[in-house]
Structure 1
Amino acid sequence: MPTADELINPRTTDLLASAMAAAGVAPVRALRGCGALLEGLSFSRRVTTVKEAVLADLPDAHPAFAQVVRTALSRPDFTGWMTFPVNAAVAEHALASDAFEPGLDLLAALTPRLTAEMAVRPFLREDLHRALRPALAWTGHPDPHVRRLASEGTRPRLPWAPRLTALVTDPAPALPVLDALYRDPSEYVRRSVANHLNDISHDHPGTAVATAARWLAEPAPTTPALVRHGLRTLVKAGDRDALDLLGNDPDVRVRVVGPDVRTAHVHLGGDLVFDYEVTNTGPRTARLVIDYVVHYRKANGSLSPKVFKLTSRDLLPGERRSGVRRHPLRPLSTRRHHPGAHRVQLQINGRPYGSSAFTLHIPPEAAIG
């Protein structure tokens, strides 16, 4: 993942200052000076610093502010990460200037340069239903970036952004946006719709499954794949309704061998390696979602499961599927590893099968912190 300095740095702000100057802003003092303030700041603080410089340099009246941004949009060099703080500035300025709809219109114009999904969220928090009206209109826009903005910006649990509490509580108001987009010709848009559906599934599994069922009743050729991606968390959790909708019977008749661990002792930075074999012992073709679960050791010695995708297969009666999996055990910023006994388990159509132990070894210097 790129560092904060790779995304927004003094060169970024210099280029942004030049773009704003060419769009009619003079003398862009704040933007010219803010690059020197970025050293050592996190990404979010860099965004805030540049946003405040944009607000300081651009006109106070929203029509004039928006005109500068639209003039900058006529320049092909006004693009990429330099526009991210501009998106944030547009949102703050529009809401402070009682320019709700014009602000959203401007974000729709900006989003093809770099997604404005974060910047639409203050509007949704300010007035959910008022902001959803333009979002629904975006679903008919010819640019897929704008159509995606409608579904991505309204995600209840968008990563790296504050949750939209109203839509976490009740996702129904945004469902018309998804209904308008699930058959979109752009995979970029459909992936956003699937991720939005997955967000819903965390808090309202019944709503997610019912929505997916409606879409499968009037599908495009791409709809089954979208639904599988959108219900992935429920499938990993063994949700019977989701599995039944996808044709993955939790009670399927299979014979499972494994997981057989090849690496009983793994050093941090190495790989857990295991074999597995699954045979369809039933009389009909079995549609299988085969996952595996790593039970990570916690600091208190208990185990915490994490599900990983292995494969999806249709097996004919008597057909067998076998394979080998390598699972890396690397230092991660998102997971603290602890030494000692761990376990790995297979999961087929949401049901657990087998279990094997392995030991993770961590050198003392890596365990500090």
Structure 2
Amino acid sequence: MGVMNELINPQVVRSLERILAAAAPGGSFPHLAVTAGQLEELSLRERTDLLSRALLADLPGNYAATAVSFRRALDDPDFTGWMVWPVTETAATLALVSPETHAFEDCLSLLAELTPRLTAEFAIRRLLAADLDRALALIQGWTNHPDWHVRRLASEGTRAYLPWAIRVPEITERPAATLPILDALYRDPVEDVRRSVANHLNDLARHAPDEVVATAARWMAAPDANTPRVVRHGLRTLLKKAHSGALELLGFPPASLAVTPPRLDRTVVELPGELAFDFEVTNNGPAEARLAVDYVVHYAKANGRRAEKVFKLGTAVLGPGESRRFSKRHAFRQMTTRVHHPGAHVLEPQVNGVRYAPAEFLVRTDAAAAPLADLTGL
């Protein structure tokens, strides 16, 4: 099995069993103990769910008593790492079915207590899905928490597209709902919190680009030393999509430019392989031009259509009449995140959101690549 899956292994299960038995005097965890021999062939998520089901079978069945045991477990410094994930999921499960009036809020507080041991960002999603406004009312207060892990949880746990996590449709339907959290955290002193804020803002840009740009502009009007970096990272998808407001906010207004068609080092790329290319940009305007330089690859799909992806090349400042050549080697290798299909592909320069003359090439697996030009220095 993969290395990630082994983050929950038989030793972790035995350690969790020992810790919880000490935290719940008189309790026993036979179902949890059995899972130590059932992990083979399971993914990390599946192992988490297996342990959580076992905990639900072993624990008394009411949220309040379980929360007491989990809080006692925090006295043990060994109660840390990936064993905490199934614990957070168990707490959320019990809280959501509990008849106790304050179980929902107490579970959020418990997740905040657990998150320094291992992020509770996955378990919190189920509470958000159950009652977004009720959850956000408490989470907003975390933005002033003295522990940066909790402040990060406020931003990361409420992201629209948190990796590995379940989706919360209401967050994408109401993108303004989480903006007060980001407003409170974009100048956080801890880099991990600020990066979460930027990623959260980037998530929101998929559905509310104009609102995201307006938020970033508000931040830039009251910045600290880190705000420009947060904004750049938060607007990265909008920059690739050539959103005019995002480009202008980051100092890349429209410019009078001449861009040569890409010069390719081959007409055919054999998988796996690389394509070297370059193109030249000239500032034809009367004033200095700040440039955000990207390139777009239009990948062939299995159905014969194309799917594009924008890649960053860099930024530059060109004086009137000044030219600069940009170059790159782009790899074509099969990956789990991108499957390459043989066929005609296109490479297209993009500067300050404007696309220029493209060049076409083939990708295939059954022939040697045919050199086109000697691009010395690429």
TM-score (norm 2): 0.91
> In structure 2, what is the equivalent of residue 23 of structure 1?
23
> In structure 1, what is the equivalent of residue 43 of structure 2?
42
Deviation per residue, 1:329-362 (Å, 9 max, x gap): 1111122211122111111111112312222122
Structure 1 gaps of 5+ residues are 365-369
Question: In structure 1, the residue corresponding to 2:260 is in which secondary structure?
Answer: strand
Contact 1:58 1:68 in 2 (8 A): no
In structure 2, distance between residues paired with 1:284 and 1:75: 64
> In structure 2, what is the equivalent of residue 360 of structure 1?
363
> In structure 1, what is the equivalent of residue 294 of structure 2?
291
Please give the residue correspondences for 1:89-238 in structure 2 after superposition, counting only pairs within 5 Å: 89-97=90-98, 98=100, 99-238=103-242
Could you tell me how far 1:4 is from its partner in structure 2? 4.6
CA 1:87–1:314 in 2, change beyond 3 Å: closer, same or farther? farther
In structure 2, distance between residues paired with 1:244 and 1:168: 25
Could you tell me how far 1:363 is from its partner in structure 2? 5.1
CA 1:101–1:306 in 2, change beyond 3 Å: closer, same or farther? same
Structure 1 letter corresponding to 2:16:
L
Structure 1 letter corresponding to 2:6:
E
Could you tell me how far 1:193 is from its partner in structure 2? 0.8
Structure 2 residue 243 is the aligned partner of structure 1 residue 246 = no
Structure 2 gaps of 5+ residues are 368-378
Could you tell me how far 1:2 is from its partner in structure 2? 5.5
In structure 1, distance between residues paired with 2:172 and 2:57: 35
> In structure 2, what is the equivalent of residue 351 of structure 1?
354
Structure 1 letter corresponding to 2:164:
W
Could you tell me how far 1:12 is from its partner in structure 2? 2.2
Bigger CA drift: 129-138 or 330-339? 330-339
Structure 2 letter corresponding to 1:49:
L
Contact 2:175 2:207 in 1 (8 A): no
> In structure 2, what is the equivalent of residue 367 of structure 1?
none
Contact 1:268 1:361 in 2 (8 A): yes
Same amino acid, percent of matched pairs: 52
Cα RMSD for the two superposed structures: 1.9
TM-score (norm 1): 0.93
Deviation per residue, 1:74-128 (Å, 9 max, x gap): 2222111111111111111122224011100110011111111111111111111
Deviation per residue, 1:10-40 (Å, 9 max, x gap): 2221222122223235322111111222222
CA 1:57–1:236 in 2, change beyond 3 Å: closer, same or farther? same
> In structure 2, what is the equivalent of residue 328 of structure 1?
331
In structure 2, distance between residues paired with 1:340 and 1:292: 19
Structure 2 residue 268 is the aligned partner of structure 1 residue 265 = yes
Structure 1 letter corresponding to 2:331:
P
In structure 2, distance between residues paired with 1:95 and 1:293: 46
Deviation per residue, 1:220-267 (Å, 9 max, x gap): 121111111111111111111221222211x31222234211133222
In structure 2, distance between residues paired with 1:17 and 1:288: 57
